[in-house]
Amino acid sequence: MSWRRVFPGRADQIPLARQFAMFLFAETSIAAEVGFVVTELATNSVRHTRSGQHGGRFTVELVLGGLAYVGVSDLGGGGYPTVRHDPLNGPVESEGGRGLRAVSQMAAMLGVHGSPIEGHTVWADLICIDKPYEDPPLATSVA
Ligand SMILES: Nc1ncnc2c1ncn2[C@@H]1O[C@H](COP(=O)(O)OP(=O)(O)OP(=O)(O)O)[C@@H](O)[C@H]1O
Ligand SMILES: [Mg+2]
For the chain, 143 residues long, the average pLDDT of each consecutive 10-residue run is 97 98 95 98 98 98 96 96 76 75 97 98 94 61 59
Please check whether residue 133 lies inside any domain of the structure: no
Ligand 1 pocket, CB under 6 A: 40, 44-45, 47-49, 74, 78-82, 84, 96-101, 120, 122
Tell me which of 41, 48, 58, 95 to substitute to probe ligand 1's pocket, judged by most ligand atoms within 8 Å of the beta carbon.
Answer: 48
From the CA of 99, how far away is ligand 1's center (Å)? 7
Q: Decide if 103 is inside a domain.
A: yes
pLDDT given for residue 86 in this prediction:
72
Q: Any idea how long the chain is?
A: 143
Name the domain count of the chain.
Answer: 1
CATH of the domain at 98: 3.30.565.10
User: Which atom of ligand 1 has the smallest separation from the CA of 78?
Assistant: 4
pLDDT the model gives residue 56 = 98
9 in any annotated domain: yes
**Is 138 inside any structural domain?**
no
**Residue 92 is assigned to a structural domain of this protein:** yes
CA–CA dist 58, 46 (Å, integer):
8
What is the domain extent for residue 90? 2-127
d(CA 49, CA 54): 11
d(CA 69, CA 79): 24
